[in-house]
Amino acid sequence: MIKRLSLALLAAIVLLAGALAVNTLRQGSRQVAVSPLPPLAVDKGRVAESLSIALRAKTQSGLLDPAGQAAAFDALHAHMKARYPLVHAALEREVVSGHSLLYTWRGSDAQAAPVALMAHQDVVPVAPGTESLWKHSPFAGVVQDGFVWGRGALDNKGNLITQLEALEMLLQSGFKPQRTVYFVFGHDEEVGGQQGAVKIVELLKQRNVRLAWSMDEGLALTEGVLAGVTQPVALIGLAEKGIVSLKLTAETAPGHSSTPPGPGASAIGMLSAALTRLDQNPFPGGVQGAAAEMFAAIAPELPFAQRLALSNLWLLRPLVERALQKGAATNAMMRTTTALTIVNAGNKENVLPGRAEAVVNFRILPGETTQSVQARVKAVVADERIRIEPVGAGSEPSRLSSAQSAPFKLIERTVREVFPDSIVAPGLMLAASDARHFDGVSEQSFRFMPIRFNTEDLKRVHGTDERIAVDQLVDMVRFYHRLLQSAAGPSTEGKTP
Ligand SMILES: [Zn+2]
């Protein structure tokens, strides 16, 4: 009897292993086959210098000093005009809200839906006290050791400058667009984009412009970010998360610390219990939406064990999700995240404060809303004595663009042509960008920059020693050159016009 049972068990295990292996092996690579482009000749020194000059303009957004700020944007605009004469001769240029720029490259075919490339002109300030940690002064635009150093090199003037370089080169070669291309260069992305991208979208709507697609900063070619993947992974963002901050307030009568109320009755006690409940009850989530699409595209490129796990979610989902939950980034791709960011209460050691408050910051997964987050927080806190209200400017998660759409495939093909060693996958952007404002005017909006990022580079964004390799800039020019050629040219199928 026991023998028969164990034989049956063995047979079941063999069958299961067989099914898992078949599922795994059936998932062939999803990477599109394209012939790599012969590298376009790009003047390295010129591109480095173009960015270096752009970095010297201290275009910080959200400053209290409008005059200083205006002068910085004027300097950047003057540089762009001087550096790109063909762009300024061939394109219509409009200034929106003082410093944002909208360029129109008019195509010959009025029937072809226009597209937009985006980049932002503004940069974040250098954190006070960290200036001296920089190897080169953040606004000096130093070119050294094969890098252009300075605030904005990665975020986002590298993007801005290489788009313009590519465009200038195309004009130089006599290229004429069939499809209209807009270039949208906002000046306040880092503080929400309300005066820049939002106003430009309003303008386009007034003119009844409907974009086929738009592409903004966001995800990039990541290197060494995903365990087990040796090739660079070009993640093209299909969506970005929303944001809401909720303030939790607990109020009681203040009192003397010699006669405290019972457990959970003081303002701090009530608030701490509420915060603990939020911390211990993360939002439900899992491999779904953009994250599911990402893993489906990457799985076939992984070593066998990981490939087996991701190809058999029907059986191994709980295991896979538990593993992904351990990484902060992969966890954030799977759920709305809860971050306890501010706590305030009390100012004297022998006084029970009458009020305790905290702010909790949530990054919202597409599919949920600021409203649904607030409703769940109320349910988890489950304490009528705690007041819950939104603070600051939140934003809803963006729409999910399609990885099956023609524009996605165009970007995907261009990546494979210019970066033949890379694999391409859809992705979810965890931070916010101006791209979300384009949901209303664009059929598809993508978030991708043709920059190779490793984990060390990521720390430099908004951090110390921001820099970009000159070789990267050259590749970015090649990418935008090819993308514009394919998107605006006589054939939208990616063939050379
Ligand atoms: Zn940015």
Position 64 scores a pLDDT of: 61
CA distance 65 to 59: 11
Q: How far is the CA of 190 from the centre of ligand 1 (A)?
A: 7
Cα separation values, 153 from 51, 64, 117, Å: 7, 23, 18
Mean pLDDT, rounded, for 222-234: 84
Position 7 scores a pLDDT of: 75
Is 75 a residue whose pLDDT tops 70?
yes
Are the beta carbons of 485 and 175 closer than 8 angstroms? yes
Mean pLDDT, rounded, for 464-482: 97
pTM given for the model: 0.89
pLDDT digits (tens, 9 = 90+) for 108-150: 999 999 999 999 999 999 999 999 999 999 999 999 999 999 9
Side-chain-facing half-sphere of 46: CA atoms under 13 Å = 12
208 dihedral zone (left: phi>0; alpha: psi -120 to 50; beta): left
pLDDT digits (tens, 9 = 90+) for 251-289: 999 999 999 998 889 999 999 999 999 999 999 999 999
Is 332 a residue whose pLDDT tops 60?
yes
Q: How far is the CA of 59 from the centre of ligand 1 (A)?
A: 13
Q: How far is the CA of 371 from the centre of ligand 1 (A)?
A: 27
Length of the chain: 497
Q: How far is the CA of 188 from the centre of ligand 1 (A)?
A: 10
Position 140 scores a pLDDT of: 97
**Which residues line ion ligand 1, judged by CB < 5 Å?**
155-156, 217
Position 305 scores a pLDDT of: 84
Position 496 scores a pLDDT of: 40
Q: How far is the CA of 155 from the centre of ligand 1 (A)?
A: 5
Q: How far is the CA of 485 from the centre of ligand 1 (A)?
A: 25
Whether omega before 156 lies within 30 degrees of 0, making that bond cis, reads yes
Cα separation values, 91 from 5, 104, 225, Å: 78, 5, 39
Virtual torsion, Cα 196, 201, 203, 205, nearest 10 deg: -170
Position 21 scores a pLDDT of: 78
Mean pLDDT, rounded, for 101-111: 96
Q: How far is the CA of 450 from the centre of ligand 1 (A)?
A: 14
Is 63 a residue whose pLDDT tops 70?
no
Mean pLDDT, rounded, for 466-489: 97
Strand partners, 343: 358
CA distance 217 to 480: 13
- Per cent of the chain over pLDDT 90 is 76
Catalytic residues: 122, 189
What 67-75 contacts at long range (C-beta under 8 Å, 24+ apart), as own/partner pairs, is: 70/98, 70/99, 73/98, 73/99, 73/121, 73/187
Position 433 scores a pLDDT of: 87
